[in-house]
Amino acid sequence: MHDRAGGRDGGDVDFWPDARTLPVLGRPERLPDGIDAGGGSRAVIRMRVLGKPEIVDVPADVHVRKRSLEFLTYLIACGGSVHQDFILEDLLPEPSRGKAVERLHTYTYNLRQVFARLGGDGSYLKVRQHQYVLDRAGFDVDLWTMLDAVADAVAAPEQQSRVAALRRAVDAHTGPFADGAGYLWLAGYRYLIRREYVDAVVALADNLAGPARAVLEEGRRHHPHDERLTAVLKGFTAT
């Protein structure tokens, strides 16, 4: 069962009241080494969820439903694969199951239309035995770029590659997750994503000399009330 925040917009809080209610932040399947998103014959769909959610470069004559965009944002937070039961529980808890499934089909159809205009076909979003799956290779998502870079930093064999991966993670973060969206399921995911970002900022600062303060200040610009960033900056002495 995923978290529902009871109407909270998931503001920049510094704690989560009960770890048992936290959702699971989805880790997207990594692409094979040497293969980037959009590396095949199809166009890549660019999606931004760090900051205001947006499908990039959608033509003016293509309509993206607000709830379709919310559904896509949720799929991304879950790593690109979610069972229908969780979707209905988190996004559509109020209608009857039949009505909720009908609405979900509407959102899916709308997204497939958008993807077909951008990429030439609707195969970017598939449904297999009630499991809704985004084609990882068909998307360039800022959150996934950040999480991939965090994983690369953890696995880095030496400092230079670790610093480069941390820099990619920090640079990919351009704002709080789904900033201003107000989705009811949002708070727990925003908390977890902010923790990932703050950890990367602090780790990068630990590995830098002169630019360390600038890295921390940039992190605090995105999350001005984060207690860890505030504490690290308060105790930071430029060398």
- How confident is the model at residue 18, as a pLDDT? 66
Counting as low any pLDDT under 70, the low residues of the chain are 1-20, 31-42, 209-211, 236-239
pTM listed for this prediction: 0.85
- How confident is the model at residue 3, as a pLDDT? 46
- How confident is the model at residue 121, as a pLDDT? 81
In single-letter form, the type of residue at position 62 comes to V
- How confident is the model at residue 174, as a pLDDT? 94
CA–centroid distance for 103 within its chain: 23
Segment holding 220, helix H or strand E: helix 212-222
In single-letter form, the type of residue at position 211 comes to P
- How confident is the model at residue 164, as a pLDDT? 95
CB 82 within 8 A of CB 46: no
Record the tokens describing residue 190, joined without a space. Answer: 């925003």
- How confident is the model at residue 217, as a pLDDT? 83
Record the tokens describing residue 159, joined without a space. Answer: 């400092």
CB 5 within 8 A of CB 189: no
In single-letter form, the type of residue at position 157 comes to P
- Quote the strand ranges of 79-225, DSSP E: 81-83, 125-128, 131-134, 139-141
Q: How many whole angstroms separate alpha carbon 54 and alpha carbon 57? A: 9
Handedness of CA 217, 218, 222, 227 (dihedral sign): negative
- How confident is the model at residue 10, as a pLDDT? 46
Q: How many whole angstroms separate alpha carbon 137 and alpha carbon 37? A: 4
- How confident is the model at residue 222, as a pLDDT? 87
Pairing of strands 139-141, 45-48: parallel
H-helix segments, 1-83: 66-77
